[in-house]
Structure 1
Amino acid sequence: MTGKRQMSETYIIGMILAVVGGFLDAYTYISRGKVFANAQTGNIVLLGVNFAEGEFKEAAFYLLPILAFFVGIIGAEMIKKRHKYNENIHWRQIVIIIEIIALLIVGFIPSGRFDMLSNILISFVCSLQVESFRKVNGNAYATTMCTGNLRSATEHLYNYKQTKDKRILKNSLQYYGIILFFIVGALIGSILTHIYFVKAVLFALIGLIAVFVLMFIEEVEVINENKKRV
C-alpha cells in the first residue's frame, strides 16, 4: 500500500464528471421531453402531480426513469461487490464502460416517441455514476445533482467563518467548484444540444473516456511505486 488516494476520488475526476452530469441534465431537458434524468426529485413530483390529475400515461413518462435510477444503484453495488478486488481493471472503470455504451445507444435513438427509452438509459447512467463516484479528496459529493453539494459548500463556509480553519475553506471552495463545473456542463450541453440535437449526447463520451484513461494512469503509478518498495 502506498497510502495514495484513489484516482477516482481526486478533484480532476470530480470536475470532469460534474461537467458530464450538467451536460446530461441540459440534454434530456432540451431534446428528450423536458425530463431531468440526473436527480429524480423533479420526476417524483411530476409523477405525483400527473397521478393526481388522472394523467396516467404522462405519469408513466416520469415513473420509468425513476425505476431506471433504482436499477442503476443496485447495478453499481453489484459491480462493486463482484469486481472490487479485480487487479486488471478498477470496478469504477467497468461502470464508466457501461455508461459509455448506454450513451452511445442514446445518441442513435430518434427523438419523439423514443424519448422515453433515452431518458431511461440516461437515468440509469446517472445512477451508476452518482453511486460509484461519491467522494472528492475524502469529502462526500455528487456529480449529477447540486443540492447536496450546495448544502455542504455553504455549511463549510459558515464553519470557516467560525473557526478560520483554511482546510475548511478549501473544502467549501471545492464544493462550489464542483457546482461551477456542473453549470459549465449544462451550458455546454445546452449549446451543443441546440446545434446537434439528439446526437449531442455523444460529446459527453469525451469526458467519460478521459475519466477511464486517467484511472488507468493512476493504477500504473501505484503499481510502479509498489515495485520500488519491494
Structure 2
Amino acid sequence: MHQKQRQMSETFRLGALLTVVGGFLDTYTYLSRGGVFANAQTGNIVLLGLSLAQGNYEMLLHYLIPILAFAAGVMVTDMVRAHFRPRPAIHWRQLIVAAEFLILLMVAYVPPGRWDAAVNVAVSFVCAMQVESFRKIRGNAVATTMCTGNLRSGTALLFHGLHTRDRGALRQALQYYGIILFFILGAALGVWCTELLSGRAALVCCLLLLTAFCSMFIRVEEDASAS
C-alpha cells in the first residue's frame, strides 16, 4: 500500500488537542475575563451590534478590541508563515504554538479584574493565530477554535455518505463530529478549571500547547488516500 509522510500538524490527534484548547479558552474568557468570547468573534460582533442598538456606547470598545486583536493575529500569522516557511530548521507552525504558549503563560499570571480587556486582546490574538495556522486535518478543512463550519461540513458529508453509501465520506463526517466533541470537552474542562483556578486556569492550556509543540517533531506515515 502506498504510504506518504505527513506532518503531525495535519493529524487528527493534534487537531483534537488544539480543539480542546480552543473550547477551553472560550469558556475561560467568558467566565473569568468579563463575558467576552475569545474564539467566536461572531458572538462579539453580535454583542457589539446589540450594544450599539441599545445605546450602550461604553461597551463598544469592550467588544471591538478583541475583534481587532483577532484580525491582527491572522495578519501576524501570515507574516510568520511567509518569513519562516522556506526555513527548514523549525516548522513555522511550531513557532506559532510556542508563541501561543508564551502569551498564555503571561495571561495566567494576570489577576482577573482591571486588566481583563488586555487579557481578552491577548487570548483573541492567540486564537486567531491558531485558527489561521491549523486549517486542515487529513486534507480536510477544519477549524480548531470554533464549530459552525465543522458542523456544516460534517453534516453535509454525513448526508452524502448515507445517500451514496460512501464509507469515505462517513469517516470524514465522523472526523468532524469528533472534533466538535473535543471542543465541547475543552469547554467543559475550561469551566471546571476556571472555577478551581480562576485566572491561573490558562496554565492548563499552556500544558496542552507544550504537548502539541513537542508532538510536532514527530512525522507520521499515512495512506495517500487519506489526504
TM-score category by the smaller chain? over 0.9
Aligned partner letter, 1:132? S
1:200 aligns with 2:201: yes
Residue 150 of structure 1 is matched in structure 2 by 151
Residue 217 of structure 1 and its aligned partner are, at CA, apart by 2.3
Residue 197 of structure 1 and its aligned partner are, at CA, apart by 0.4
Give CA deviations for 1:67-104 in whole Å, capped at 9, x if unaligned. Answer: 00000000110000000022111000000111011101
Secondary structure, aligned partner of 2:39: coil
Residue 14 of structure 1 is matched in structure 2 by 15
Instruction: Identify which range, 135-144 or 203-212, moves more after superposition.
Output: 203-212
Residue 216 of structure 2 is matched in structure 1 by 215
Residue 227 of structure 1 is matched in structure 2 by none
- Give the alignment of 1:10-89 within 5 angstroms: 10-89=11-90
Residue 225 of structure 2 is matched in structure 1 by none
Give CA deviations for 1:126-164 in whole Å, capped at 9, x if unaligned. Answer: 000000000000000100000000001100000011111
Give CA deviations for 1:204-229 in whole Å, capped at 9, x if unaligned. Answer: 111111111111122xx79xxxxxxx
Q: Which runs of 4+ in 1 moved over 6 A?
A: none
Residue 95 of structure 1 is matched in structure 2 by 96
Aligned partner letter, 2:123? I
Residue 160 of structure 2 is matched in structure 1 by 159
Name the TM-score, length of structure 1 as normaliser: 0.93
Aligned partner letter, 1:89? I
Percent of aligned pairs sharing the same letter: 51
- Give the alignment of 1:91-130 within 5 angstroms: 91-130=92-131
- Which structure's residues are more often strand, by fraction? 2
Distance 1:64 1:114 in 2: 13
Residue 52 of structure 1 and its aligned partner are, at CA, apart by 2.2
After superposition, the CA RMSD in angstroms is: 1.2
Gaps of 5+ in 1: 223-230
Give CA deviations for 1:161-215 in whole Å, capped at 9, x if unaligned. Answer: 1111111000000000000000011111100100000000111111111111111
Name the TM-score, length of structure 2 as normaliser: 0.94
Gaps of 5+ in 2: 222-227
